[in-house]
Amino acid sequence: MRITPSLLAADFARLGEEARAAEAAGADWLHLDVMDGHFVPNISFGPAVLRALRPLVRMPFDVHLMIAPADPYLAAFAEAGADLISVHPEAGPHLHRSLQSIRALGCKAGVVLNPATPVSAAEEVLDLVDLVLVMSVNPGFGGQSFLRSQLGKIARLRRLIDETGRDIALQVDGGVTPDTAPDCIAAGADTLVAGTAVFGAADRAAAVRALRGEAA
């Protein structure tokens, strides 16, 4: 079980300290939500922030691009220190080509499914991905409530991933807390993005342990 706190919920005046705190708390990856104010109704940060944070922590950078088009910026995020880059099928005309480009840059590749995006959008590219991310909220803002309607999607993806025999992470992002994590795990998720649940906690290590405890 991987816990990957979303930096979107951190104190933006202290991003370096927050990233270090997440790693010290036992987080496995750092989730970086990149928003352009166009694909989603919010603006967050770009490659410069990754580049500044990269020397400060060792944990992998899990970069979720909520931008359109995504292709022109893939190289910049790879060069800034991304280990894994995930894109939405709706963020470009050729998802297969985008995933090929990410892998050619030396990064792992992921595909992201919004609440209304069907499982079939990922099914035809499972041979190219290292991660499938199920959004359990509509993308664009942190602190939203978990959409239980996505549990069936997680279960269907679990079956498809198992059939491939490949090591593909099944990630859930949105409203993940110690209360909702068990349902995600029961449906088949093995990677949890938790923003407010970790960065909003007074004790980040206890928050990570709570998520792991619920998962166990």
Cβ neighbors of 71 (< 8 A, separation 6 or more) are 92, 97, 98, 101
CA distances to 35, 48, 113, 136 from 132, rounded to whole Å, are 19, 26, 8, 13
Which residues 6+ apart lie within 8 Å of 137 measured at CB? Answer: 115, 144, 145, 146, 147, 173, 174, 175
Examine the residue annotation and report whether 162 is marked as an active-site residue of this protein.
no
User: Which of 28, 62, 71, 173 is an active site residue?
Assistant: 173
DSSP 124-183: TTTTT-SEEEEESS-TT-SSPPP-GGGHHHHHHHHHHHHHHTS--EEEEESS--TTTHHH
Catalytic residue, chosen from 33, 62, 71, 130, is 33
**SS3 at position 43:** strand
> Does the annotation mark 33 as catalytic?
yes
Integer Cα distance of 65 and 70 in angstroms: 7
Residues classed as catalytic: 33, 173
